[in-house]
A and B are shown apart, each in its own frame.
Chain A
């Protein structure tokens, strides 16, 4: 499991950086895929590494989205500080709610996270005077990035901005999961009782990673509001949490890159199928998902991962 920086990793990020040349006309879409990938990475931290099953992760995505959106709508349009602030707010929200989530079993966690997600959705809906309610938050205007690059309609600035943020956060997450802290998280996922017995403070560990992942989700949400310059109520929707779970499972949980692969596969399939057949595309999407999960239970990356390890152990 302990991978060094492989050529595949270098290739992965080089291809993304070459996006300006490879898919110049698809930059807005590519930005949204990266944002979904970051969001899935945040979910991977709690599900893939710490084993916390959640159906309300969009809550933190939404908190970050509204935090960044509200800052910009009230005159604080500087993107980077807005992004940091949104991440902190979402992280705080994660920390505050973590005691509710980390105790209990999978089923309780599912119920509680779903409940939290619905609560926040209704709260944002109720507070229409602040959030814009169902009509969405208006007047999100971003200043140029670093005072130099305006957010343009072709999505060039947005893509570079998103890619840079995602890359930095990815490095940090990679560092985190390979640290002793990350190892103990995996231990907790494997057997929390035994971890407790060897003196690991399980709840504290889980709370910490939950807050950390919430901050990541918040940054992903903030990136979405800053690059689209709009915040809709759907950032908090249940379907966003559910799709997130699908993306991560399709890509492969516990492998860091699984979220990005899953987000890309899910969104590209969604994108092309819905342009080909605007009415019945969901049928094809559903069929594709079932096939992917049937073929490899650990998702796309898990499938290749297994093949590689079995090839390595064969001779």
Chain B
């Protein structure tokens, strides 16, 4: 987007050159693999609507070429399905970009194909650190858990919290979050008084909450995947009166994500989280994003960071198409564009690290507050240019 307007003249020309619309090389295909059904359907719907919102604002062509979005449903954490879909997208649909990926296992399974076919693979959500190491053709525009959890450790230690109990979901992102938080928090002089990892499915929080209450920490740090778990945890937290026992709740932003924040009632008010995007972020780009998303998805469906990931992924793809020139999309050239690419995202400025192909961005410290009758994550402090500390 930045710089995209600068060479508008060149784009005009390429429009004329490729005027015989319908030729294969005039269409750039983006194969999007997302979780559209099953327990993680929310992830996929956020991403697809985010990508569509981008196309609504910036048009469905880039550099004079039509950008066609092909969506496939990976049905949930199903790596063999994701891999097969990627195979079909690459071989049958002949897509130029792979995109989407809400869940780490799906992204990891597809990575070798991106390498084999030399096709850029844009990770729009999956947030385990290792993903970008699995193929030189992967670029990530979302975030990593370590990236947002480490600043929270630093912030907590600096703001008088000494004893923390950690609770994370027991899988890649959870372990990343726990590791990064602990490291930063202990480095800042804090002490971990207890830690627990909860199963990814069918979790009952009551016994964990009681144990935490008995350990009397000053705060509890949690990471739970977006969905039902944060809601269940919040409910238990107030039922067991941990808040009244003077225990603070700090978390990664997944826990108070914008889509479900209002469903959580009063409990999250005052909870401090760190994340890269809040719907309350004050910028022109964010207002554009929110407006377009509401037009595409309806005003009942609240966008969250996943929709922003897809929006930025599309922005990166558009830029790669513009700088590709007229020939077929060249994977290596696209990666050269992506490395070091700076985007003006709804979350604020972001950059794709030229070395790791992972996103570098501002991480915000936010507090859940009421504003005009609605609940928001209000940003009040920031850590600029945070890299993924997990690598």
Contacts and interface: CB of A to CB of B under 8 A. Distances in A.
Interface of A: 25-26, 28-29, 32, 122, 125, 128, 133-136, 138, 153-155, 224, 228-234, 274-275, 278-279, 281-282
A274 B71 CA distance: 10
Nearest to A133: B171
Contact of B109 (A128, A134, A136, A279): A136
B90 interface: yes
B79 A29 contact: no
B77 A234 contact: yes
Contact of B77 (A25, A134, A154, A228): A134
A228 B78 contact: no
A230 B91 contact: no
Contacts of A153: 87, 90-91, 113, 116-117
Residue in A25, A136, A153, A231 whose Cβ sees the most chain B Cβ within 10 Å: A136
B83 interface: yes
A136 B103 CA distance: 11
Interface residues of B, number: 38
B128 interface: yes
A134 B105 contact: yes
Contacts of B116: 153
A232 B78 contact: yes
B385 interface: no
B73 A230 contact: no
Contacts of A155: 87
A274 B73 contact: yes
Nearest to A225: B80
B283 interface: no
Nearest to B44: A278
A143 B112 CA distance: 15
Interface in B115-158: 116-117, 128, 134
Interface of B: 34, 36-37, 41, 44-45, 48, 71-73, 75-80, 83-84, 87-88, 90-92, 104-105, 108-109, 112-113, 116-117, 128, 134, 170-172, 199-200
20 contacts: A25-B92, A28-B88, A29-B84, A29-B88, A134-B77, A135-B104, A136-B105, A153-B91, A154-B91, A230-B109, A232-B79, A233-B77, A234-B78, A234-B79, A274-B72, A274-B73, A278-B34, A278-B73, A279-B41, A281-B73
A278 B36 contact: yes
A8 to B, nearest CB: 29
Residue in B48, B77, B105, B199 whose Cβ sees the most chain A Cβ within 10 Å: B105
A81 to B, nearest CB: 22
A229 B171 contact: no
Contact of A136 (B44, B45, B76, B108): B108
Contacts of A25: 88, 91-92
